[in-house]
Amino acid sequence: MGVKAFKPTTSSLRGTKLEDRSMLEKDGGPKALSISKKQRSGRNNQGKITIRHRGGGFKRRVRVIDFKRDKFGVQAEVLGLYFDPNRSAHLALLQYADGEKRYIIAPRGIKAGNKVISGEKVDVLPGNAMMIKNIPSGTIVHCVENMAGKGATFGRSAGQAIIVQGIDSTGKYVQIKMPSGEIRLVPADGMATIGQVGNEERVNVKLGKAGRKRNLGKRPEVRGMAMHAVEHPHGGGEGKGVIGRAKDIWGNRIGTRTRNNKRTERLIIKRRRSPQRPFAKK
């Protein structure tokens, strides 16, 4: 889609770069494919803030997206591309030959009028979905399942591209390379969609002013170094202090890995980072 710049008629517009949504449909899409969303403002069921710096923003509706692509053998036509306020990627509205409509994550290069289909083995074209074991090695895919029939888990945000590297010796898993550089195994019977996720230029967006951030439901954050010593481990000091070992407001070290999923540990062949070095003792 690309981004659009503005003439610097004001100080905030000077660095502003926003998404170019001229190719998207102007209507909000089928009302039946969206449900209301209650704003939680980062609070749990007890009203306590569990995620800070959230609140306000425009009202949103959740789009019901077909992450499973389980309508096999029925061709669908792309009616148009739509904006989704809940994610970075855009959506493509499909109308199947039997009249049913569904949203999918819009692949790069897809346009209104294109035909897509899903099945166990179909043509390798953008937007088509099939079992990952039947996708040739070196193909770029997105919306990959990590459990057959569960729905897409990997490669759902704007610009994501996963590379299929081939089936393993057992025939039960397929090796893929994630955008982070991680190499892992996924079930061979899981579904994946051909192509890269669209709206890849979103990384170049600059909101330009705090008001747009508030419209997205983000509240202000204050740097720890700007606080008093009693409020944050980074606070205090005469003049501009030195952080040293970075900590959060509760005094816990930032950067400590918290992954503890032993069930899928064996499926990771190469991690996206080298093993973490232990913290040096004082």
**CATH number, domain containing residue 261:** 4.10.950.10
Question: How far apart, in whole angstroms, are the C-alpha atoms of residue 192 and residue 29?
Answer: 25
Question: How far apart, in whole angstroms, are the C-alpha atoms of residue 157 and residue 116?
Answer: 20
- Domain membership of residue 210 (yes or no) is no
Query: Does residue 51 contact residue 63 with C-beta atoms inside 8 Å?
Result: no
Domain housing 252: 223-277
Whether residues 172 and 242 share a domain: the answer is: no
Residue 258 binned pLDDT confidence (cut-offs 50, 70, 90)? confident
Strands of 115-116's sheet, edge to edge? 101-105, 91-96, 76-82, 115-116
- Domain membership of residue 212 (yes or no) is no
Whether residues 66 and 25 share a domain: the answer is: yes
Cα dihedral sign, 66-163-165-122: positive
Whether residues 19 and 111 share a domain: the answer is: yes
Q: Among residues of the chain, what percentage have pLDDT more than 70?
A: 97
Answer with the residue of higher pLDDT: 114 or 245.
Answer: 114
Whether residues 89 and 29 share a domain: the answer is: yes
What does DSSP say about strands 173-177 and 162-167: parallel, antiparallel, or unpaired? antiparallel
- Domain membership of residue 211 (yes or no) is no
Q: Give the mean pLDDT of the chain.
A: 92
Whether residues 173 and 234 share a domain: the answer is: no
Residue 239 binned pLDDT confidence (cut-offs 50, 70, 90)? confident
Say whether pLDDT at 282 is over 50: no
Of the candidates 93, 94, 169, 171, the one whose C-alpha atom is nearest the C-alpha of residue 131 is: 171
CB-based contacts of 266, cutoff 8 Å, min separation 6 = none
- Domain membership of residue 40 (yes or no) is yes
AA identity, residue 158: A
Whether residues 74 and 106 share a domain: the answer is: yes
The residue among 157, 173, 202 that closes a domain is 202
In our burial notation (b when 16+ CB lie closer than 10 A, e otherwise), range 63-87 reads: bebbbbbebeeeebebbbbbbbeeb
Q: Greatest CA separation found in the chain?
A: 71
- Domain membership of residue 282 (yes or no) is no
Whether residues 90 and 164 share a domain: the answer is: yes
- Domain membership of residue 27 (yes or no) is yes
Whether residues 188 and 134 share a domain: the answer is: yes
Question: How far apart, in whole angstroms, are the C-alpha atoms of residue 50 and residue 44?
Answer: 6
Whether residues 57 and 109 share a domain: the answer is: yes
Cα dihedral sign, 124-129-135-137: positive
Question: How far apart, in whole angstroms, are the C-alpha atoms of residue 150 and residue 42?
Answer: 27
With 0-12 CB in 10 A as exposed, 13-18 as middle and 19+ as buried, what is 103? buried
Q: For residue 200, how many other CB atoms are within 10 A of its CB?
A: 17
Residue 189's pLDDT is what? 95
Whether residues 182 and 86 share a domain: the answer is: yes
pTM score, whole prediction: 0.89
- Domain membership of residue 84 (yes or no) is yes
Whether residues 155 and 262 share a domain: the answer is: no
Q: How many domains does the chain have?
A: 2
Query: Does residue 218 contact residue 52 with C-beta atoms inside 8 Å?
Result: no
CB-based contacts of 162, cutoff 8 Å, min separation 6 = 140, 141, 142, 144, 154, 155, 176, 177, 178, 179, 192
Q: What is the mean predicted confidence (pLDDT) over 196-222?
A: 95
